[in-house]
Chain A
Amino acid sequence: MTAPATRAIPAPGAPRPQKLPTVAERVLDNGLRVLAVRRPGVPLVELRLRIPFAGKGAAHTARGQLLGDTLLSGTDRRSAERLAADLQGLGGSLSASVDADRLSIGGSALSASLGGLLDLLAEVLTSAAYPKDEVAGERDRLVQELAIYRSQPGVIAREALLSRLYGDHPYGRELPTADDVAAVKAGQLRSLHGKRVAPAGSVLVLVGDLSPARALGLVEGAMAGWTAAGSAVLTPPVPAVVPGPAVLVDRPGAVQTSIRLAGPAPVRTHPDHAALTLANLVLGGYFSSRWVANIREDKGYTYSPHSGVEHPPGGSRLTLATDVATDVTAPALVETLYELGRIATLPVTQAELDQARRYATGTLALSTASQAGLASTLSALTAAGLGLDWLREHPRAMAGVTVDAALEAAATYLAPERLVTVLVGDAAVVADPVARVLPLERG
């Protein structure tokens, strides 16, 4: 038998240019901004509504969380069960959640049922009842769920990291305490709803097998009665990040250490954004990155290292996250700091940069290649004050990024001395070795 001949890897053809979908837009008299996009495919419609919902203090966090959990627990015309059954009958679903920035309502339905879905949504927005019984039930359930949630190492690490980054800013404590939740009364939710579930500043996105003109008309009809006078409350900007010793949260007996590093990042419209996008990819933003090659594919310390940039409205941030076997915690930190230091002080190669650029450009197009994906992307961009045009502008900006620009962005945002570090793991085992690598304080 002869050795198999070497085969040439076929070069991909040029990407077919993607036509950006047309967005039909209307601002209703009540201030609600509505965007509708026709994307045929399956006979469904995707719905995304964002209502600004920032607020101060632990009580707001607890009330907001519970408001999200009970918004769909009935209206003045329908019990919780009736509402759920009627949504189901439309082939539809609605879900609501509240975070530090907004109340998000997402859903979908068979496209023939769009009118019905909008009517139910409007009914919820204008007359959610927050029945005492349902609120009490969901309140107890939330307390239980918070306990389960907070037993996850990923959540423990996230809470410690956000607290370290943001202190008393609302981002510093995303989740309410059990005590604060237990104190919430149904009347407080009705009052909060009245003040804050308002159309002004809110954005509704519809994507799917629909006629945009007809969809806008349906929304206009359904939402005419949503006249709550509240005004949008926006998230205040985050405070400056103050780097310092790493924080170690003890989790006795843990078989892995959750390692998190984070720092500020530029917003999407900042001149550094495109360069940081690419520098971050080369560092750890995708599988074909240095960090993954090092601590996973070479050393086997971990399963899924990842670094990424998020853009909450109060301030963008960059986060590195990995969970490593307990006995290699310090060595994994050494390699992580090495990769951060390397990219912040030495230029990436042109090949690394080009590969990251093709990945970022290609996957941006993939993110809008389904009804649900397009709806979520459009909703997020609109909330950030951008439009679908950004799907063209961002690749153009990335096309102009040079090796020098990537180094400058890395020096500004990826230098280890600018990041905060949080570890969650078995302190008895990892504290001493970690303290040999970087300054450490117990969390």
Chain B
Amino acid sequence: MTRATLDNGLRVVVSEDRSSPVVAVAVYYDVGFRSEPEGRTGFAHLFEHLMFQGSANLGKTEHFTQVQGNGGTLNGSTHLDYTNYYELMPSGALELALFLEADRMRSVALTQENLDNQVAVVQNEIRVNVMNRPYGGFPWILLPPVLYATFTNSHNGYGDFVDLESATLQDAQGFFDRYYAPGNAVLSVVGDVDPEEVLRLAAQHFGDIPARDVPARGDFAEPPPAGEVRHVHHDPLAPAPAVAVAWRVPDPADLEAYLPYVVLAEVLTDGDASRLQDRMLMKDRTATSIGGYLGIMGDPLDARDPTPFLIEVHHPAEVSADVVLATVDEELARLAADGLDDAELARTVARMRARYLREVDPVLGRAQAMAVCEQQRGRAELVNEVPGLLDAVTREQVQAAAATLRGDRAVLELRPGGAA
């Protein structure tokens, strides 16, 4: 891995992989839902759309035509703690990809017409992914207001329609100026490239973007729920109930304290041999599907504190949410009391390691993992160390983690049909 920091503060990480003639370029800005001000829910995501609407040397949609018209694919996405933009291209197009990212980092071009258009597009994105489908926003939009008390952590990152329609060009320019400073970003490049050449081209294209102040990161801290906080959501489109339960976990910055929870989630829910699947899907038949993961968006290694451990269960109407929760509690208590044996831990970690390797085999997956590790932990190298860190998690740590998941938690029940 090769790295550099440009004079304007942009961090660059590069990894060479000659197995295919392709290159992945990813730019991560250190801003997400949690940095949105009140009255502007959904703004970080709306702004992500605006970054595709043109810049100093590129017209509306030209970013797309330049990438796709040269044989590449691209996208962007907005998360709690970052917004990313990426291209996967034939390696001959490395410089083009860097130029395109630099151009919009230097100066996004904002017009009222494009803003209005993208507000409408985002509203349709919310309709298709949330409003027009059963279980829309379950649990990623619906659970945070139960788990958290502050606006920062609890609000809907897709945004309220009124807030989206209230967004102005001034808001957008202000957001860009504040959060899209080169010093608030990481550029990650992986693929069929010479790392020194990448650093040279990065300096050439990004180097003259003026440095701007990097905003101090907001304080997202808040206490965990005291006792059980419970909410019932009525979903008129859903044919069957579901329940999600979430506990706060240690700050992911402390990997030694945090990773046992990541392993615990798999011990409970990964595959037919996992504790909850075996018990609820195969033996009790009290569930139709079970998921367990870290992070509201299932992003164990790319969310900052505070972040939850989450279990979601779809269950038949004949089974109450209380029965589901009691079973989860029983299995957690059993783990906390009796622990697990070496074989169970070893097979669980074996698959986690393999799955992680599978994620970082494609150059784009690796570029993304490197970028977020560099951004949140200052160490892109962590990508190579994750398998070893998972191996180092002990039975005792997993057992101790299970023992902490008790009554201080958020429960979201989803019931089919309208409110009574």
Contacts and interface: CB of A to CB of B under 8 A. Distances in A.
Contacts, number: 236
B133 A153 contact: yes
Interface in B65-103: 65-66, 68-73, 88-93, 95-96, 99-100, 103
> Which of B118, B278, B361, B363 counts the most A-chain CB atoms under 10 A from its CB?
B361
A439 to B, nearest CB: 26
A7 B56 contact: yes
Contact of A365 (B20, B99, B343, B363): B20
Contact of B21 (A16, A297, A302, A325): A16
Contact of B71 (A9, A72, A359): A359
B20 A355 contact: no
A80 B362 contact: no
A197 B291 CA distance: 31
Contact of A72 (B96, B240, B272, B358): B272
A402 to B, nearest CB: 19
A11 interface: yes
B208 to A, nearest CB: 10
Interface string A3-39: 0101101111111111000000000000000000001
A12 B271 contact: no
B168 interface: no
B239 to A, nearest CB: 4
B57 A9 contact: yes
A300 B282 contact: no
A231 interface: no
> Which of A4, A12, A354 counts the most B-chain CB atoms under 10 A from its CB?
A12
B354 A366 contact: no
Contacts of A145: 288-289
Interface string B332-375: 00000000000110111011011001101111000000000000
B257 interface: no
B61 interface: yes
Interface stretch (A183-191, A232-240, A272-280, A367-375): A367-375
B282 A137 contact: yes
Contact of B99 (A9, A44, A152, A298): A9
A16 B65 contact: no
A42 interface: yes
Assign chain A's interface to a size class: 35 or more
Given A7-B57, A18-B20, A287-B68, A88 B347 contact: yes
Interface stretch (B4-12, B124-132, B176-184, B298-306): B124-132
Interface string B17-58: 101111000000000000000000000000000000000111
Interface stretch (A89-97, A309-317, A406-414): A89-97
A39 B237 CA distance: 45
B128 A370 contact: no
B87 to A, nearest CB: 11
Contact of A303 (B70, B71, B125, B238): B125
Interface in A63-120: 72-73, 80-93, 108-110
Contact of A370 (B271, B348, B351, B362): B362
Contact of B60 (A108, A287, A297): A297
B128 A323 contact: yes
A214 interface: no
A88 B71 contact: no
A10 B282 contact: no
A188 B46 CA distance: 53
Contact of B96 (A4, A9, A354): A9
B210 to A, nearest CB: 11
Given A88-B270, A147-B240, A296 B350 contact: no
A287 B370 CA distance: 27
B20 A369 contact: yes
B288 A323 contact: no
> Which of B270, B314, B357 counts the most A-chain CB atoms under 10 A from its CB?
B357
A92 B120 CA distance: 44
Interface in A132-171: 134, 137, 140-141, 144-145, 147-148, 150-154
Contacts of B289: 145
A255 B127 CA distance: 7
B287 to A, nearest CB: 9
Nearest to A287: B64
> Which of A10, A15, A361 counts the most B-chain CB atoms under 10 A from its CB?
A10
A376 to B, nearest CB: 12
Contact of A359 (B68, B107, B282): B68
Given A148-B134, A152-B133, A362-B72, A6 B57 contact: yes
Contacts of A130: none
Given A303-B121, A323-B132, A359-B69, A141 B281 contact: yes
Contact of B66 (A9, A296, A371): A9
A299 B121 CA distance: 9
B354 A109 contact: yes
B123 interface: yes
Q: Which 5 pairs across A and B sit closest by C-beta, in order of nearness? A: A362-B71, A300-B120, A91-B354, A13-B92, A84-B272
22 contacts: A4-B56, A9-B57, A9-B96, A44-B354, A82-B273, A85-B344, A88-B347, A89-B347, A137-B282, A141-B285, A144-B316, A145-B289, A255-B132, A256-B124, A288-B64, A288-B69, A298-B117, A323-B124, A362-B72, A362-B90, A366-B88, A370-B362
Interface of B: 17, 19-22, 56-58, 60-61, 64-66, 68-73, 88-93, 95-96, 99-100, 103, 106-107, 116-125, 127-128, 131-135, 192, 236-240, 270-273, 278, 281-282, 285, 288-289, 314, 316, 343-344, 346-348, 350-351, 353-354, 357-358, 360-363
